């Protein structure tokens, strides 16, 4: 397979992206990396790292969508940008997976406008990993794609999260929960109160009820469902645990697992392709893991599993 990497995306691009591509290439076997961006800059970085450019394919462009640009306008007005070209290649089947640490909004818009949302999916969702005290991990979604949600969207997030946990992380019959302010069925705001009975009645995943934020890290569930606003707040607070532990000179294996570099990025679930968005401050290690995650998502057959789950039954 061919994996596309936007080498212009991220606060430390293109150097961090190209160095990450080198590490990803060392870890890949039988797969080709396609570097999308300024070829001349990439060749210079590869030369300094004493790594042969023959290990990669290149799609040259110097046009970049900035981190602060309006996503929809940028995608439409910059068709020659590294992100837009990446999605063009993905849509045409010239690459099988695409990842970038660039503008998250542009990645979402690009995915929806190019490879498009899978029929039946109301809104694509972004996921993140929540480390567990007893080992292992849980999947949290949505973490920022949809700040405002409706109950049927959260119901679908449960399906998407279940399939992701099952096929990418090999969790058998994953337990799906709704993040809430109490465990009781009637607790919560209007959104969670309306969502609970929908999830309870669903036969598409193993719903185990509400989970409070104090239990997010103690293996109470395998899939944690919430709206994008709440999910984004949770994951950024969790990331700060790692930063605080470093500043306080606390060495702890559990807090080390909050280091975003280990997970690479957030897959966009519900679109017709393997698309992963990395952290804007991604370093080479994070870039490498972002590329490897996009490979895993593609090879798991997740997109086809989602298509089957949302297919209209006649």
Contacts of 142 (CB under 8 A, 6+ apart): 125, 126, 127, 149, 157, 226, 227, 228, 231
Residue reference for tokens 């997010």: 216
For the record, the structure tokens of 155 come out as 């119901």
Whether this model's pTM surpasses 0.85: yes
* Per-residue pLDDT, 79: 93
Residue reference for tokens 């209209």: 312
Q: Is the dihedral of CA 161, 124, 259, 49 positive or negative?
A: positive
Q: Are residues 149 and 110 in the same domain?
A: no
Q: Tell me: the pLDDT tens digits for 89-134?
A: 999 999 999 999 999 999 999 999 999 999 999 999 999 999 998 8
Distance, in Å, from the CA atom of 7 to the CA atom of 100, rounded to the nearest integer, reads 7
Residue reference for tokens 């996921």: 127
Domain, as residue range, for 252: 122-269
- Report the CATH number at residue 59: 3.40.718.10
In a domain, 314, yes or no: no
Distance, in Å, from the CA atom of 290 to the CA atom of 278, rounded to the nearest integer, reads 6
Q: Are residues 214 and 102 in the same domain?
A: no
Q: Are residues 228 and 297 in the same domain?
A: no
Distances (CA, A) of 230 to 143, 157, 201, 226, 265: 7, 14, 24, 6, 18
Distance, in Å, from the CA atom of 226 to the CA atom of 145, rounded to the nearest integer, reads 11
Q: Are residues 265 and 276 in the same domain?
A: no
In a domain, 311, yes or no: no
Distance, in Å, from the CA atom of 245 to the CA atom of 61, rounded to the nearest integer, reads 40
Q: Are residues 234 and 150 in the same domain?
A: yes
Q: Are residues 175 and 72 in the same domain?
A: no
Q: Are residues 213 and 87 in the same domain?
A: no
First to last CA, the chain: 34
Burial class (CB in 10 A: 0-12, 13-18, 19+), 231: buried
Q: Are residues 160 and 232 in the same domain?
A: yes
In a domain, 111, yes or no: yes
Q: Are residues 132 and 255 in the same domain?
A: yes
Distance, in Å, from the CA atom of 117 to the CA atom of 146, rounded to the nearest integer, reads 14
Q: Are residues 208 and 149 in the same domain?
A: yes
* Per-residue pLDDT, 314: 37
Distance, in Å, from the CA atom of 40 to the CA atom of 61, rounded to the nearest integer, reads 10
In a domain, 310, yes or no: no
Please tell me the total count of domains within the chain. 2
Distances (CA, A) of 51 to 17, 22, 32: 14, 8, 15
* Per-residue pLDDT, 312: 67
Distance, in Å, from the CA atom of 271 to the CA atom of 145, rounded to the nearest integer, reads 13
Q: Which runs of consecutive H residues, i.e. helices, occur in 28-68?
A: 39-48
Tell me which residues of the chain have a pLDDT lower than 70.
312-314
In a domain, 139, yes or no: yes
Q: Are 34 and 6 in contact (CB under 8 A)?
A: no
In a domain, 106, yes or no: yes
In a domain, 309, yes or no: no
In a domain, 189, yes or no: yes
Q: Are residues 127 and 264 in the same domain?
A: yes
Q: Are residues 102 and 169 in the same domain?
A: no
Distances (CA, A) of 135 to 176, 208, 244, 305: 18, 20, 21, 27
């Amino acid at each position: 397979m061919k994996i596309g990497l936007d080498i212009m995306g991220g606060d430390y691009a293109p150097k961090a992206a190209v160095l990450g591509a080198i590490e990803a290439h060392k870890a890949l076997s039988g797969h080709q990396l396609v570097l999308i961006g300024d070829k001349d800059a990439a060749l210079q970085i590869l030369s300094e790292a004493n790594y042969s450019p023959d290990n990669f394919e290149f799609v040259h462009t110097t046009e970049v969508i900035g981190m602060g640009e309006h996503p929809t306008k940028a995608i439409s007005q910059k068709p020659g940008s590294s992100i837009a070209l990446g999605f063009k290649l993905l849509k045409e089947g010239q690459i099988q997976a695409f990842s970038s640490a660039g503008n998250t909004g542009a990645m979402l818009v690009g995915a929806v406008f190019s490879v498009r949302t899978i029929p039946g999916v109301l809104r694509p969702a972004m996921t993140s990993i929540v480390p567990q005290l007893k080992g292992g991990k849980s999947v949290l979604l949505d973490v920022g794609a949809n700040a405002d949600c409706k109950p049927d969207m959260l119901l679908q997030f449960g399906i998407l999260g279940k399939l992701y946990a099952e096929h990418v992380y090999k969790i058998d019959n994953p337990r799906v929960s709704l993040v809430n302010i109490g465990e009781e069925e009637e607790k919560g705001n209007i959104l969670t109160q309306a969502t609970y009975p929908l999830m309870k009645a669903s036969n598409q995943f193993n719903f185990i009820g509400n989970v409070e934020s104090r239990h997010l890290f103690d293996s109470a569930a395998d899939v944690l469902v919430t709206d994008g606003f709440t999910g984004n707040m949770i994951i950024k607070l969790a990331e700060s645990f790692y930063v605080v532990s470093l500043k306080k000179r606390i060495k702890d294996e559990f807090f080390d697992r909050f280091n975003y570099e280990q997970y690479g990025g957030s897959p966009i679930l519900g679109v017709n392709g393997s698309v992963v968005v990395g952290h804007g401050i991604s370093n080479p290690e994070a870039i490498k893991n972002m590329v490897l995650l996009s490979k895993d998502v593609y090879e798991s057959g997740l997109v086809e599993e989602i298509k089957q789950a949302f297919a209209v039954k006649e």
